[in-house]
Every structure is written in C-alpha cells, then in structure tokens.
Structure 1
Amino acid sequence: MTRLSRRHAFCAAWLSLLSAAAATASMTAAQVIESTKPTDWRALDPDNTLVMELAAGQVVIELAPRFAPRHAANIRTLAHEGYWDGLAILRVQDNYVTQWGDPDGESPDKAKPLGSAQKKLPAEFSVPLKGLPLQRLPDVDGWAPVTGLVDGMPVAADPRTGQAWLAHCYGMVGAGRDMAADSSNGTELYVVIGQPARGLDLNITVVGRVLQGMQWLAALPRGTAEMGFYAQPQQRTTIQRVRLMADMPEAERPQFEVMRTDTDSWRQLLDARRVRREEWFVHSPRHINLCNASVPTRPRTAAAKG
C-alpha cells in the first residue's frame, strides 16, 4: 500500500469514527439502551441476590460483598436458613426508609433465633479507594469530592482519606444499628424510599440495593408512631419469605439482567441523561448526580438464558 492510499484509508477510518460518535451523541436515553449489545448486560449472581416475597409482589435485592463482605455473608446465611420468613415490615417513614426485621428482636426471650448466623459483626462503613474499579462521574457532588459507580452501585469517595463508600441513594439497602457503630448484623434491614439520605453515608453499613420491586416497599402505608413505626402489630406487612436466589429452583428465579457500568454504552447513557434530546424537553440540565445515575434492568433474552 502506498503512502497516499494509507493516508486515504486513515482518513476514511477517522471519518467513520467521527460519524459514529456524532450518531451516538444525538441519541436519547431510550435509543442508547435499545442500541446496546448483549455484552453490555450481565446476569444476576445467584449467590448474592435475595428474593423477598410479599403478598403484593416480589422484591429483588442485590448484595454488595465488595463493600460489606461480613454483612453480605451473614445475610446469605440468614436467608439460606429462612430467618426472615414470617417476620414483618416494621417501619415506613415518609420520604425516608422502609425497614424490616423481627418485631421481637429486642426481647431476648422472644427474639427469633439467628441459627448459624453471627450475632455481632464489625462496622463496614467504607473500603479503601485504592484499586477500586470506580467508573467516575465528572459531575459535581455536594457530599463527596469523587463519585461514580462500582458493580452498578453508587459510590462516593474521598482521595484525601483514601476511602470509598456506598451512597444512600433511592433503593439502597442498609443494615440498621443501635448507638454502637458495630451493632448491626444484617438481621434488620432498611431501604431508602425517598430523597437520598446522604447524611447517613459513613454512619451505617450499606449492604446492597433493590433491583426490582421498589413499588412494593415505597407504596406501603406510613407508620403513625415515632420515626414511622407502626403503632399496632396488625398494621405491619408480613414477609412471606426471603430466599437466596442460589437456593431457588431455576424456574422460580428472577429472569432479568442488569446493565454493566464499565462500558461505552453506559457512558453514552449518562451523556444522554445529562443532555436531554427528547423532543419534550425545553431545557436540558447538562448535569447528572450520583443518585440520578440509576442502572437499567431488562428481561433476559433467550440467547442470554441459553
């Protein structure tokens, strides 16, 4: 190939790349998702997925063992041994959290046995930032100098302290605790159902997030007692059962997949959310915050199941 022909080939390739980039830059969020490849999505990890059954429907929770390994392990044990089966949703505080666990958990003579799960765990509020595969967001955050996503989870970080932590965005699940920092063990859990509760960051161990079924937790009647607790036992919602997905027959497992956050498609989706190209929008914010960077899910395709 002559120098001239190589130059023509290079120019053609460069123009092709520019054309592809321009086409991507003009897409809406829905178009980006529609144009994704199968490799832009991942299946659920059966060993780190909980399935909660309520009378209203199913809630699917993905655990975060990278950030709370001891709590995640204890929660897997509790689910495997049926700890939450028959327990209840105890508290629904408007614009804050829905919380569930043992109504008699504070009464030693009435509390449900923990089986082989551990009664006491260390607090797991943060992890080292160094080596964390963080996909950073360039947008400004008022709660932390650095934000981004890891394993699809919203993460905040501070390079000065070298620490990173899961953020209390909508749908994130934490382990309730008492006054002592190390008083959580995963038996009592809550999910954020309103405005991101970022003031709780670095104060509570965050153990995962709800991937599907938030409507069943966010639409429950609000408790009328202090902090949204139910004043009467009959007001509580019974938890039929909570299972680890790995313990479920294949036919009963949730059949959906989660968009990966380490791909070009994810970056294009974030851009499409910053710069709104849908005809309806009069003003485009050109900004996204950590808790707006929610990760899409979709039904698993036949090819993916195979």
Structure 2
Amino acid sequence: MRLRRLHAGLLIALGLLALPALAETPKATPTAAELIAKSKPSEWRTPDPANLLYMQLPQGRVVIELAPDFTPLHAANIRTLVREHYFDGLAIVRVQDNFVTQWGDPNDDDSGDKSKLKPLGSAKRTLPPEYTRAIDAKLPWTPLPDGDVYAPQVGFSEGFPVARDPASGREWLVHCYGMVGVARDVAPDSGNGSSLYVAIGQAPRQIDRNLAIAGRVLEGMPYLSALPRGSGPLGFYAQAAQRVPILSVKLAADLPAAQREKLEVLRTDSASFAAIVEAKRNRHDAFYAVPAGKVGICNIDVPVRSAPAANAGHG
C-alpha cells in the first residue's frame, strides 16, 4: 500500500498523473442594467420630435415614436390627425386580454352611431396598406443569430424589431409588446391611423404583414397594458363609462423644447446593444443556472432612458 502511494506521489510530482480539475464557478453574465451603465453617450440617440406623440390619459402620459421609414403614409396622416386635434376627447375603447389595447372614436365601433363620427378634417380617409416595404440597405440592420418561426430573418433597424425575407426583397415591422399598429376594417386600405392599437400580451406575430405598424411605445406602457379588460366581443368595453378618455394627443415638435420629454433610445447598431442581446441569449447567474442559448425578436426590449443632465438640452 505504501509503495502504491509513493508511486502515485512520484507520478504527480513528475506531472504524469493529472489530479481532478477543480470546478470553476462560471462568471456571471452582466445584466442589461450593468451594460447600460457602461454604455457610451454616442451609443444613444434622441428621437426626432417630429416622430414623437404624447398621448395624455388621466393616469399619465404615453410617449409613442412613429416609424416613418417603414410606414411613411400612415405617419404623415397620424401627424395630420394629431395637429388637427382629432384624438382629443376620444377614448380607449377596447382592451382584449393578452392581445391589444385600442383607441379611437367610440362611434366607429360596430354598435356605434356612425352619424356622430368625429370628422377627419384634412386627413386622408384611406391609405395604401404599407404592410411591408422593400429592404433598404442604407438603413442600419442588426440581425439576430437564432432564427425565427415567422420570417427567414429577424433583427433591429432604427430601434424597431424587423423581419426580412431576402428572397422577396421585403421587410416589415413585427408585432412585439409595445408596438403600435393601425386598426382597419376588412378592406386593406381602410386603416388610416384614426384608430390605433398597441400589443399588450404575448407577441401576436400571426398578424404581421396583415396590418400596418406605425411605431412603438417608448414610455407609459403600464397606462395601456394594466387597464381593465373589456367584457364585450374582442375586448371592447360594453359600457361607455368603462372607456378611458384621451385628454389630448400632441406632437413633440409642436411643443417648446422645455415641455418635451428628455428621452434617449439605445442605438440598436451599437456595441452595447449587441452585448445586451448576447447577455440575454446566454444569461448565467445564481438564478439562471441553465442559459437558453437563444433569444427571440420579441424577447429583447430596446432600452429607453431619461437623457443625462448634460444632454438634456438637445432634441
């Protein structure tokens, strides 16, 4: 027995017998908050005030960024509606659980009095669908590596979640949580932006390319997602008293700079955003013992923050 121990000790000393490797604790993946804290000022963008809507509800303000590069005709028509105060005094009329919150003219509902519809003013009554557009190679494109069920490719462009089909040369915005779409009737050109909705539940990707997406909510989602669900068909409120009034909707560009929200959005073509994507794909810490190794397009929230004091004067 002593000879065996001595022989083993000699082999170890000579480096010929390996000892069992000590288990190393994997380094914890940095959180999104930690990565954001280390980001550079140049990695953030200030949204164009001409593309920002402020929807004032009794509960608070909802900030929506339009996506004119994807749905330019709808963005222009929505700006016209806002500047002519079309939405002021209208209401949130529908909250369907795990689907959407919708707002517009209550008289436009199936049971509404069409003779009392609010005039559209100089806004267009109908618009081409704008469900997809030709792939624009000039715009930034940050692809995700893990594929998608609904499209050949997915990624981010200008802060928005986008799907692509290289074979057809088309791309389109996708219905992730917080994306704002244009409600319509059966006719594809019947959506003009006078009735809008926001996805509040599991991403309803099945309606991609069937409705125009006008933008996304940057701030104030709880005011839209936490509302009581409607009891009528498709989540419409059965009683007028249940509707949430819209006090006003304004365009940031029409307000003095001092009255604008000082928000910044992390550039989706930045190194910090790429790090956040990778951290979500391979998150590992005391709680996440098993990293997913993949991430879906709608599982990534593009960070939005209040502008640091040094930058608060621009935009």
SS of the residue corresponding to residue 109 of structure 1 reads helix
Query: 1:25 touches 1:268 (CA, 8 Å); kept in 2?
Result: no
Query: 1:100 touches 1:190 (CA, 8 Å); kept in 2?
Result: yes
SS of the residue corresponding to residue 113 of structure 1 reads coil
Offset of residue 108 of structure 1: 4.5
- Select the structure of larger CA radius of gyration: 2
Partner of 2:238: 231
- Aligned pairs for 1:289-300 within 5 A: 289-300=296-307
Query: 1:78 touches 1:117 (CA, 8 Å); kept in 2?
Result: yes
**Which has the higher mean CA deviation after the structures are superposed, 271-280 or 211-220?**
271-280
Query: 2:263 touches 2:306 (CA, 8 Å); kept in 1?
Result: yes
Q: Say what the alpha-carbon RMSD is for the aligned residues.
A: 1.5
Query: 1:126 touches 1:202 (CA, 8 Å); kept in 2?
Result: yes
The one-letter code matched in structure 1 to 2:230 is: G
The one-letter code matched in structure 2 to 1:216 is: Y
Offset of residue 303 of structure 1: 1.6
Partner of 2:286: 279
SS of the residue corresponding to residue 91 of structure 1 reads strand
> Quick check: 1:91 aligned with 2:61?
no
**Which has the higher mean CA deviation after the structures are superposed, 47-56 or 252-261?**
252-261
Query: 1:74 touches 1:185 (CA, 8 Å); kept in 2?
Result: yes
Partner of 2:206: 199
SS of the residue corresponding to residue 258 of structure 2 reads helix
> Quick check: 1:60 aligned with 2:63?
yes
Offset of residue 26 of structure 1: 5.3
Query: 1:50 touches 1:62 (CA, 8 Å); kept in 2?
Result: yes
The one-letter code matched in structure 2 to 1:37 is: K
SS of the residue corresponding to residue 222 of structure 1 reads coil
Cα deviations across residues 3-37 of structure 1 (Å, max 9, x unaligned)?
A: xxxxxxxxxxxxxxxxxxxxx99533222111100
The one-letter code matched in structure 2 to 1:78 is: L
Which whole-Å CA distance do the structure 2 matches of 1:301 and 1:51 have between them?
21
> Quick check: 1:302 aligned with 2:309?
yes
Offset of residue 105 of structure 1: 2.9
Partner of 2:52: 49
SS of the residue corresponding to residue 51 of structure 1 reads strand
Which whole-Å CA distance do the structure 1 matches of 2:155 and 2:29 have between them?
24
**Which has the higher mean CA deviation after the structures are superposed, 228-237 or 128-137?**
128-137
TM (normalized to structure 2)? 0.87
Which whole-Å CA distance do the structure 2 matches of 1:130 and 1:61 have between them?
23
Offset of residue 160 of structure 1: 1.4
Runs of 4+ in structure 1 over 4 Å off: none
Partner of 1:35: 38
> Quick check: 1:269 aligned with 2:276?
yes
Offset of residue 112 of structure 1: 0.6
Partner of 1:178: 185
Offset of residue 249 of structure 1: 2.3
Partner of 1:113: 119
Which whole-Å CA distance do the structure 2 matches of 1:270 and 1:295 have between them?
10
The percent identity for this pair of structures is: 52
Which whole-Å CA distance do the structure 1 matches of 2:187 and 2:223 have between them?
31
Query: 1:50 touches 1:61 (CA, 8 Å); kept in 2?
Result: yes
The one-letter code matched in structure 1 to 2:116 is: K
The one-letter code matched in structure 2 to 1:224 is: S
Query: 1:130 touches 1:162 (CA, 8 Å); kept in 2?
Result: no
Which whole-Å CA distance do the structure 2 matches of 1:226 and 1:29 have between them?
39
SS of the residue corresponding to residue 180 of structure 1 reads coil
The one-letter code matched in structure 1 to 2:239 is: Q
Number of equivalences: 283
Cα deviations across residues 248-292 of structure 1 (Å, max 9, x unaligned)?
A: 222221122110011111111111111113332222111111001
Offset of residue 215 of structure 1: 0.2
Gap change, CA 1:60 and 1:37, over 3 Å in 2: same
Offset of residue 65 of structure 1: 0.3
The one-letter code matched in structure 2 to 1:117 is: A
Query: 1:28 touches 1:278 (CA, 8 Å); kept in 2?
Result: no
Query: 1:105 touches 1:112 (CA, 8 Å); kept in 2?
Result: no
**Which has the higher mean CA deviation after the structures are superposed, 127-136 or 152-161?**
127-136
**Which has the higher mean CA deviation after the structures are superposed, 232-241 or 97-106?**
97-106
SS of the residue corresponding to residue 116 of structure 2 reads coil
> Quick check: 1:164 aligned with 2:171?
yes
Query: 1:135 touches 1:262 (CA, 8 Å); kept in 2?
Result: yes
SS of the residue corresponding to residue 104 of structure 1 reads helix
The one-letter code matched in structure 1 to 2:131 is: F
Query: 1:28 touches 1:277 (CA, 8 Å); kept in 2?
Result: no
TM (normalized to structure 1)? 0.89
Among 251, 255, 266, which residue is 1:259 paired with? 266
